[in-house]
Structure 1
Amino acid sequence: MFDIRLRIPSWHRLHSFLGLGASLFFAFMFLTGTLLVFAPELDWLRYSEVRASPQGSAKLSLGTIYDAAARARPDWDIVTLVRSEGAWFADQVTGVRPEGRDAFLWVNPYTGQVNGETSSFTIHAALLRLHEALFIPGRLGKLVVTVFAIPLTATVIAGLFLYRRFWTGFFRWPRFSSRSRAWLSDLHRLIAVWSLVFFVPLVVTSLWYMVETVGLNAPATPANRTVARDQLLPPDFNGARLDAASAIAAATLPGLEVRKVILPRRPAQPIVFQGDHTAVLVRPRANAVYFHPESLEVLGAHRGEDLSLHQRIAEAADPIHFGTWGGLPTRILWGLFGVGLTALAVIGIIIHAKRVGIMQQKIAGASARSGFARVWRGMGPWGLGGWLSVGLVVTGLALLTRNFLGA
């Protein structure tokens, strides 16, 4: 009788070939993604300007924050105000300097005091561009990164077939008393089965990003452009008018918790209030109210529930991929998974080196290779996977350095 298994490649070979071939790049992406989950906290540690201590009172209005920034930098065009969810974070004000470059001004939301100014090239911004596109400009960078979702998905599927009845291994402790290859294999399997709950949303959202990159992204929400004006904002525009618009936004979408205010960069653009409302698994931009900068007339509004299914899927990708959907608890959980996946990729490399080393010892006359050489040889023909991974990582780090020096 014909055996269909003869037509299926060895799951072990497929898992090893794909997993090992891209292991260096996987480890790099898992590491940068894990750091990105905690990027706001890294900025808080790095820049004293980002820090704010709760003063026992509610945060000041965004209009007050706008006035403080406008007084501190009268030569700037203020284009966004972002209110952090954290109690210990300053509000972020983005302005365009006279020479045309963006910069961040950080304002204490409890006192209105301007903490200071930083470049817009923060740790958060650098990690985001490194993780999603390796700093390669245009669509090419995102495509290069997201196409690795295919081997990642295949590696996970092959691993499930390789470790049949994987659910029995959730509480199987590694045999630390055995040889290193045995307990490393046990540890690899243990981390993998516990990471399945994270692997599924990770690979699904990664595949979605690839779909978006090739041009099947969801349509944008309405731009609600205004008629062309001679200037971005009226000469008398101030924080009081911004607070008046905020009150109108609250009446238009009752319960809207404003997280971001976008001011015009070009004369035909409106003022946009974005924030959290009743929809789940959406970004703040899914809930928005648009204003005419001069009359404060409401030009349009939408909630997350008003978006199409295609748009809701696109909105859900980021909260699921980065673990922001449940606040700090899910971010911590996603961070732990990220550390585990980074270790998983590294342990897989070590296991392969040890396995091939043992095989060589059993073959008479086999040439003795170093662990590095054994791993490299396993990364596809002529170590192609290794060269590709190293090339991409070096490219990303080189472009990161160049952008940092030019910031």
Structure 2
Amino acid sequence: MSRPQWLRLHRYAGLVMALFLLVQAMTGALLLYRGPVERWLDPAGQTSRAQGPAVSAGQAMAAASTAFPDARVTRLFAPDASRATWFAHMARADGEAVYATVDPAGGAVLRAGGLSRFPLEATLQLHYRLLSGRAGMAVIALNGLALLLMAGSGLAYWWPKRNPAKALAIRWTLSPRLVLRQAHRTLGVVAAAFLILLSATGFLLVFPDLVASGGGASPAVVSAAQVDRDLALAQRAFPGAALRDIRIGGDRLTVNFHAPERNARAVHVVPVALAGPRIVSATPAQRNGALWMPLLPIHTGDFLAPVGPPVWLLAALSLAALAISGPLLWWHAAAQRRRAPRKAVA
């Protein structure tokens, strides 16, 4: 392809997806530090008061259920930091999702409601599915492909025959429009490798869920004692492993334990049959073939911790700047073309 063709491809993909890329960039930047941001935004609802006896997973589930007696807990996340809370996902009979945080010290419900009460959970669902289920996931997948296309076509258009450093220079004495154009080019080239990695891993994370058939397991009715009993049974498979979360649905309770020996996001998985109970299987993280397990730490920057998340934050902010400056440059160019005939007549 010729350079003008690469430029047209880059421009059209950017104009079509600019808004979605901006949303992805800003939500992704927030999610890199979800826990601290959540506790800063809502200290009353997301921070333990550290008063009272420690509550078990079953007690936390039971406490969350008191906030919505007509809903069933489908997933329960354990506290992941000092002063963090239990976080329960619940589903009503009509499918409406509601949430609650429970203080691990004493078991008080600190916050309960829909997504409007949990802005970082809303941010996650906006980032992953645009709050629109499978249709939103399809747009996110297209967004990842578009970003790959834009990064590749932008590099192909820019690639100099010699002296790359000179080709990246910004001449600050030029007009603001030309400075913006050069800054857009330079930022895009410098950030291209990071954006390619983010877009490729993002696409591969969402695509399996997009093409998966069927819905999730139906909510199950379990007691606090059952949850604690099944969790204790699952813990025998991985003694000493810290709980990440519990999923409750269908005929089983699935326990996910942190597996830092593989990576920062990996889990050991133990499904426990509710009838019995009995361990259905016990899959160590090292033998788990789920695609998300090696990809998620790359997408979040955890594979390079502690420097990874700050670098990924800069990449996300760069993407936001590119998503804004690209359409702005096109708008300026289109405005100049509209004015050109009138100048010629004058």
TM-score by length of 1: 0.67
Question: Are 1:279 and 2:279 counterparts?
Answer: no
8 Å CA contact 1:49, 1:106 repeated in 2: no
SS of the equivalent of 1:252 reads coil
Deviation at 1:317, TM superposition (A): 3.8
Structure label with greater radius of gyration: 1
Aligned counterparts of 1:367 and 1:318: Cα–Cα separation in 2: 58
Question: Are 1:251 and 2:236 counterparts?
Answer: yes
Q: 1:198 aligns with which of 191, 194, 199?
A: 194
Question: Are 1:304 and 2:293 counterparts?
Answer: no
Q: 1:321 aligns with which of 267, 290, 299?
A: 299
Once the two structures are superposed, residues 117-143 of structure 1 have per-residue CA deviations (whole angstroms, 9 ceiling, x without a partner) of 222553234333433333444x33322
Change (3 A) 1:367 1:255: farther
Deviation at 1:259, TM superposition (A): 0.9
Question: Are 1:107 and 2:102 counterparts?
Answer: yes
Aligned counterparts of 1:288 and 1:204: Cα–Cα separation in 2: 26
Structure 2 stretches of 5 or more lacking a match? none
Partner AA of 2:177 in structure 1: R
Partner of 1:123: 119
Q: 2:247 aligns with which of 240, 262, 286?
A: 262
SS of the equivalent of 1:147 reads helix
Aligned counterparts of 1:50 and 1:143: Cα–Cα separation in 2: 33
Partner of 1:85: 80
8 Å CA contact 1:170, 1:194 repeated in 2: no
The structure, 1 or 2, with the larger RCO (C-alpha pairs under 8 Å, 6+ apart) is: 1
Deviation at 1:347, TM superposition (A): 1.3
Percentage of pairs with the same residue: 20
* Two-structure CA RMSD over aligned residues (Å): 4.2
Q: 1:342 aligns with which of 305, 320, 333?
A: 320
Partner of 1:23: 18
Change (3 A) 1:178 1:101: closer
Aligned counterparts of 1:179 and 1:305: Cα–Cα separation in 2: 56
Aligned counterparts of 2:247 and 2:194: Cα–Cα separation in 1: 34
Aligned counterparts of 1:328 and 1:56: Cα–Cα separation in 2: 32
- Provide the aligned length of Structure 1 versus Structure 2: 340
Change (3 A) 1:66 1:188: same
Change (3 A) 1:163 1:171: closer
TM-score by length of 2: 0.77
Partner AA of 1:133 in structure 2: R
Partner AA of 2:221 in structure 1: L
Aligned counterparts of 1:54 and 1:169: Cα–Cα separation in 2: 54
Aligned counterparts of 2:80 and 2:53: Cα–Cα separation in 1: 13
Identify which range, 116-125 or 333-342, moves more after superposition: 116-125
SS of the equivalent of 1:162 reads helix
Aligned counterparts of 1:60 and 1:169: Cα–Cα separation in 2: 59
Deviation at 1:329, TM superposition (A): 5.6
Aligned counterparts of 1:105 and 1:56: Cα–Cα separation in 2: 19
8 Å CA contact 1:49, 1:90 repeated in 2: no
SS of the equivalent of 1:194 reads helix
Question: Are 1:142 and 2:137 counterparts?
Answer: yes
Deviation at 1:257, TM superposition (A): 1.7
